[in-house]
Amino acid sequence: MDLNARFAEINGLEPENPTKEDLEAIARAASEDPEDTITLEEYKQQREYSGRLLIRIPKELHKQLVEAAKANGVSLNQYALYKLAK
């Protein structure tokens, strides 16, 4: 479909009235503190770091880490994070 024809089709539609939910969302957005907002560039940079890290380790080290985590009463993830942060 030609782009001009598509715009003509869109412009020919009846305008929609916002729903109650739409109006509430708009009000919430308008009341947000600009200090809490970030730029699109900042958002893109944040997306680069998901917080996930996948590594392959020897089975024996995996076993030792699981056992140490259990002995400390924490998950393997929590224990690995503790060890990485040290």
Asked if residue 69 lies in contact with residue 82, where contact means CB atoms within 8 angstroms, the answer is no
Q: Is the pTM of this model over 0.85?
A: no
pLDDT score of 12: 87
pLDDT score of 1: 65
CA–CA distance, 54 with 21 (Å, rounded to integer): 40
pLDDT score of 8: 85
pLDDT score of 59: 95
pLDDT score of 41: 85
pLDDT score of 2: 84
Ranges of residues in the chain whose predicted pLDDT is under 50: none
Domain boundaries in the chain? 17-85
Residue 3's H or E segment, with its range, is: helix 3-11
pLDDT score of 9: 86
